[in-house]
């Protein structure tokens, strides 16, 4: 009986380890699997295009990532190149982004639910950081930050809230980021919490943030 219980426990542990090992973009089982965007079949990712119909353009995009972008109201612009722009990225588990920052601009706190990010500063200076998860003390919600200069590299672990801020009031900054998913996703914290559709109840948010309901009511239309 004890032996049977031990075997069952081992089987459960192996299953958990195997699940964790595959909890990311699926590995390719052939040289490539160019996404067939016109297929009616729905899978986790995209169905493969007929290899006989694949050409070099399926792996190419004239993205002009060397050109500056106009920034948004928080002072940043993210130009993401993922599987939706290059169909050949399907199953390859990678994407890239150019990020432009206006003086004092920021890429506000956000998370990528499906990817780790590695960021390289091309121009200017960035103040960056991320916050750990709700793990046991003393590492619960630990804030790790760094000032980056041109040529510096920083890693944001998958799923953790992170940001970048340009502290220079006079000069813009530029960075390139690689992400470990063909479709990393992005959840901007302020937009998700205060700008959801339909809105989250102000009773819920007031309790969560320990503020008055009128503060929430003021924030929701703004975001």
Q: Which H or E run includes 15? A: helix 2-21
| Pair (180, 203) in one structural domain | no
Q: Alpha-carbon dihedral of residues 81, 82, 84, 89, nearest 10 degrees?
A: 120
| Residue 14 falls inside a structural domain | no
Give yes or no for a contact between 27 and 91, defined as CB atoms under 8 angstroms apart: yes
pLDDT at position 179 is: 98
Do 99 and 193 share a domain, yes or no? no
Pair 60, 140 in one domain: yes
| Assigned domain for 17 exists | no
Q: What pLDDT does residue 81 have? A: 98
pLDDT tens for the 223 residues of the chain, in order:
555 555 555 554 444 444 444 446 777 889 999 999 999 998 888 999 999 999 999 999 999 999 999 999 999 999 999 999 999 999 999 999 999 999 999 999 999 999 999 999 999 999 999 999 998 888 889 999 999 999 999 999 999 999 999 999 999 999 999 999 999 999 999 999 999 999 999 999 999 999 999 999 999 988 8
User: Do residue 173 and residue 215 come from a single domain?
Assistant: no
Q: Are residues 159 and 216 in the same domain?
A: no
- Whether residues 72 and 181 share a domain: the answer is yes
| 155 shares its domain with 209 | no
Q: Annotation-wise, does 170 bind a ligand?
A: no
The whole-number pLDDT of residue 113 equals 97
Which pLDDT does position 20 carry in this prediction? 46
CATH code of the domain containing 104:
2.60.120.10
CA 58 to CA 2: how far, in whole Å?
A: 56
- Inside any domain, residue 192: yes
Residue 110 annotated as binding? yes
Based on the fold, state whether residues 83 and 131 are members of the same structural domain.
yes
Q: Is the peptide bond before 138 cis (omega within 30 degrees of 0)?
A: yes
Q: Are residues 198 and 121 in the same domain?
A: no
Looking at the domain assignment, is residue 30 inside a domain?
no
Query: Which residue pairs from 143-146 have beta carbons closer than 8 angstroms and sit at least 24 positions apart in sequence?
Result: none
pLDDT of residue 16: 46
Give Cβ neighbours of residue 111 (< 8 Å, ≥ 6 apart): 159, 160, 161, 162, 186, 187, 189
Is residue 38 domain-resident?
no
Whether residue 193 is contained in a domain is answered as yes
Does residue 142 share a domain with residue 119? yes
Burial of 1 (0-12, 13-18, 19+ CB in 10 A): exposed
* Residue 207 belongs to some domain of the structure: yes
In angstroms, the CA 43 to CA 55 distance is 23
Instruction: Tell me: is residue 112 an annotated ligand-binding position.
Output: yes
Count of domains observed in the chain: 2
Locus of tokens 């964790």: 20
Q: Give dist(CA 82, CA 49) in Å, integer.
A: 17
24 lies in some domain: no
209 lies in the same domain as 111: no
Segments forming the whole domain that contains residue 204: 188-222
75 and 179 belong to one structural domain? yes
pLDDT the model gives residue 17: 45
Count Cβ neighbours within 10 Å for each residue of 109-147 and write b for 16 or more, e otherwise. Answer: bbbbebbbbebebeebbbebbbbeeeeeeeeeeeeeeee
Q: Are 80 and 97 in contact (CB under 8 A)?
A: yes
DSSP helix/strand/coil, 111: strand
């Amino acid at each position: 009986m004890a032996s049977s219980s031990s075997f069952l426990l081992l089987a459960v542990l192996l299953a958990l380890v195997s699940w964790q090992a595959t909890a990311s973009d699926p590995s390719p089982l052939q040289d490539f699997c160019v996404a067939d965007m016109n297929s009616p079949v729905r899978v986790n990712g995209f169905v493969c295009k007929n290899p006989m119909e694949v050409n070099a353009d399926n792996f190419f995009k004239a993205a002009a990532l060397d050109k500056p972008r106009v920034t948004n109201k928080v002072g940043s612009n993210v130009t993401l190149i993922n599987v939706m722009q290059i169909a050949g990225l399907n199953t390859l588990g990678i994407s890239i982004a150019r990020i432009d920052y206006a003086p004092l601009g920021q890429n506000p706190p956000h998370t990528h639910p499906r990817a780790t990010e590695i960021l390289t500063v091309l121009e200017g200076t960035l103040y960056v950081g991320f916050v750990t998860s709700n793990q046991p003390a003393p590492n619960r919600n630990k804030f790790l930050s760094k000032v980056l200069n041109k040529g510096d590299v920083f890693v944001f672990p998958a799923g953790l809230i992170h940001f970048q801020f340009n502290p220079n009031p006079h000069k813009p900054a530029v960075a390139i980021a690689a992400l470990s998913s063909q479709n990393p996703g992005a959840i901007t914290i302020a937009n998700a919490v205060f700008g959801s559709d339909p809105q989250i109840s102000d009773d819920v948010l007031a309790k969560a943030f320990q503020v008055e309901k009128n503060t929430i009511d003021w924030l929701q239309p703004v975001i």
